[in-house]
Amino acid sequence: MDFQKQRRTMVDTQLRVNDVTAPELVSAFLSVPRELFVPRSLQALAYSEAELETESGRALWTPRDLGKLLVALSARPDDVALVIGAGSGYSAAIIGQNAEAVIALEDNEDAVNAMADRFARIGLDQAVAVEGRLAEGLPEQGPFNLIFVSGMVETVPQAWLDQLADGGRMGVVVRAGRDLGRARVYVRSGETVSCRDVFECCPPPLPGFEIRPGFVF
């Protein structure tokens, strides 16, 4: 199977047509072997326009959704980035192509070890996988210039916003309905954090960030 050809086709038919055209981001999608970040049984579908479950509660987004949110975040060469709920590590690998350093945060040791192996296989020295509580982020490593949340959430913990550096950006999809989410970018300026919605999408949810129902008599 010619994965390199499929990678080029993915870029041409799923990214460029959706305004993901920044040269450095296109280069990242062309460079990272997406097939290494899905289970072997799904490798034939790695470049399809589909969300692919990598493990329980984690999935690769469609290339279109990931690309459009990364365009809105505009990673810079001197960025230190944090990816929350990094799963297999694909989004961290893409971000790592255009950032100074990226930390991929997961909440279990097996996922962290598997990500570290994948980063080593593709020679991504600027990426590191770390275990920790997702809701807490990594305050001891912050602040971060860029934070990316790899799943749709209903609530955005204040801890994530507190870890943005001045001028830092956070990209996250917030549920807005049963089958609707809004990709949102938060930006810190001094002591103020503002946000804007950039497009609608519905990537797989990140478990643990649901709104708890209130008490009902």
Strand 144-153, strand 164-177: pairing = parallel
Q: What is the mean pLDDT of residues 205-213?
A: 86
- Which residues are registered as beta bridge partners of 128? 103
Two tokens at 19?
A: 């305004």
DSSP letter assigned to residue 36: G
For the stretch 138-142, contacts whose Cβ atoms lie closer than 8 Å and that sit 24 or more positions apart, written own/partner, are 138/82, 138/103, 138/105, 138/163, 139/163, 141/82, 141/103, 142/82
Nearest to 160 by CA among 169, 152, 151: 169
> What are the angstrom distances between the C-alpha of 7 and each of 92, 201, 210?
17, 22, 34
Q: Provide the token pair at 89.
A: 């590590």
Query: Cβ distance 149 to 171 under 8 Å?
Result: yes
pLDDT above 70 (res 217): no
- Percent of the chain past pLDDT 70, that is, above it, reads 98
Report the DSSP pairing between strands 52-55 and 58-60: antiparallel
pLDDT on residue 1: 80
Confidence band, pLDDT 50/70/90 cuts, at residue 49: very high
Considering Cα of 106, then 24, then 167, then 207, what sign does the dihedral take? negative
Phi first, then psi, for residue 88 (nearest 5°) are -80, -15
Condensed to tens digits (0 to 9), the pLDDT of residues 112-128 reads 999 999 999 999 999 99
* List of domains in the chain: 3-201 (3.40.50.150)
- Is the pLDDT at 212 greater than 80, yes or no? no
Q: Quote the pTM value.
A: 0.94
* pLDDT at residue 214 greater than cutoff 90: no
* Alpha-carbon distances, residue 179 vs 48, 51, 152, 185 (angstroms): 21, 14, 11, 20
What type of residue is 192? T
Mean pLDDT within 124-133 = 97
pLDDT at 179: 81
Alpha helices in 97-201 (DSSP H): 109-121, 158-162
- As a whole number, the mean pLDDT across the chain is 95
